[in-house]
Amino acid sequence: MKLNLKRPLAFFDLETTGVNVGSDRIVEIAILKAMPDGTEEIKTLKINPGMPIPLQSSLIHGIYDEHVADAPLFSAVAQELADFIGDADLAGYNSNRFDIPVLLEEFLRAGVDLDMSDRKFVDVQNIFHQMEQRTLRAAYKFYCDKDIVNAHSAEADITATYHVLLAQLDRYKDVDFEDKQGKISQPVINDVDALHQFTNMNKPVDFAGRMVYNENNKEVFNFGKHKGKTVESVFDVEPSYYAWMKQGDFPLYTKKKLDEIWLRWNKKKDELKAAKQATSAQGTVQKTAPAQAPAARPAAKPYIAKPQYKKEKPAAVTNDMLEQLKMKFGK
């Protein structure tokens, strides 16, 4: 069967140093990119994780420190991988809970922000678990009647995952499914949008599942003391919870989505505060009586300077003056 695709669908699988989304690293990545025209492209890379690979992990996937000693760091190939994925939708086995969160962590550490806003995500495991509840090895045997050769190598696993999905589409065509609410549908159809909806049951906000969308499409916490509460309502009563999560051991993509909600919440808060201030100011203007104009003062009389007269003291009478008077009047 040929997949009915509107755009490429990139199946990918990771082998890692462990299962901690926030701290473990990729040691191998394989991507099978199914194209709308039916062609396929595969890219497989060994990655130097920049840390020792624990023995218990190496025993599972067969990749030891010496196998990746000369391999590039993820940061060196991050842009190459992002370009290969392009605008493709993403698919994998348990990819929603593990592979996608781990891959996003590596991209963010490398400074590559892979846009996830308009992608569809098809988790083949969720189809399988809801319809049959088995492992990948059992799924491949059950649907394809084949055994996985070299299981736990990224390329073998992702190739098996791809063929399991094709077989699932054949097997469950026109097959009814009843959900927990008793609603009956035929969800496994050859359409990525429908498969995205069917395999993303919890509607995660951050892929690691720390936050999920509720029935009203609001972000709610999915862990801890605030489980089930909307993120914004927690910010209303305990804004310090944001700082606690930012400083805690949470995946970078979880913190990125938390930042988006925090900024939106603060914007709403500022807008509400501004609206209240505007309403309060308008009410004050209406309640205050207009001020009376002050009574006009009488015009001031012009100032006229009064002439100042200087009083002179009488001159002192001398003998010379008396002699001159006698001569004048003949006395």
pLDDT in tens, 31-58: 999 999 999 999 999 999 999 999 989 9
Backbone angles phi, psi at 305, to 5 degrees: -75, 130
Rounded CA-CA distance 78/257 in Å is 21
Q: Measured between alpha carbons, how far is residue 169 from residues 107, 134, 174, 221 in Å?
A: 32, 17, 10, 34
Q: What are phi and psi of 221, to 5 degrees?
A: -75, 140
Q: What does the pLDDT read at residue 307?
A: 47
Burial profile 256-291: b = 16 or more Cβ within 10 angstroms, e = fewer: ebbeebbeebeeeeeeeeeeeeeeeeeeeeeeeeee
d(CA 101, CA 121) in angstroms, rounded, equals 12
SS3 131: helix
The backbone torsions φ and ψ at residue 230, rounded to the nearest 5 degrees and listed phi first, read -65, 145
Every domain of the chain with CATH number 3.30.420.10 lies at 9-200
- The answer to whether the CB of 68 falls within 8 A of the CB of 48 is yes
* pLDDT tens profile 193-239: 999 989 887 788 998 889 999 889 999 999 999 999 999 999 999 99
- Give, for all 331 residues of the chain, the pLDDT tens digit: 889 999 999 999 999 999 989 889 999 999 999 999 999 999 999 999 999 999 989 999 999 999 999 999 999 999 999 999 999 999 999 999 999 999 999 999 999 999 998 999 999 999 988 887 678 988 999 999 999 888 778 999 999 999 999 999 999 999 999 887 788 999 999 999 999 989 887 788 998 889 999 889 999 999 999 999 999 999 999 999 999 999 999 999 999 999 999 999 999 999 999 988 888 877 766 665 555 555 555 555 544 444 454 444 555 556 666 566 555 555 4
Phi then psi for 66, rounded to 5 degrees? Answer: -65, -25
**Cα 83–chain centre separation:** 21
* Cβ atoms of 47 and 61 closer than 8 Å: no
What are the DSSP calls for 36-67, one per residue?
A: TTS-EEEEEEE-B-SSPPPHHHHHHH---HHH
What is the C-alpha radius of gyration for the chain, rounded to an integer number of angstroms?
Answer: 43
3-class DSSP state for residue 288?
coil
Please report where in the chains the tokens 């492992």 appear, as a residue.
135
Distances (CA, A) of 61 to 58, 156, 299: 5, 11, 103
pTM: 0.68
What distance in Å separates the CA atoms of residue 231 and residue 182, rounded to the nearest whole number? 30
DSSP state of 314: P
The encoded tokens of residue 15 equal 């082998």
**Nearest CA-CA partner of 65 in 39, 45, 47:** 47
Element (H, E) at 31: strand 26-34
Token pair for 73: 């760091």
Residue with tokens 């029935």: 215
Q: Which residues contact 171 (CB under 8 A, 6 or more apart)?
A: 143
What fold characterizes domain 9-200?
Nucleotidyltransferase; domain 5 (3.30.420)
23 Cβ contact list (under 8 Å, min separation 6)? 249
Strand (E) or helix (H) holding 224: none
Residues in the chain: 331
pLDDT value of residue 305: 47
Residue pair 119/85 in contact (Cβ under 8 Å)? The answer is no
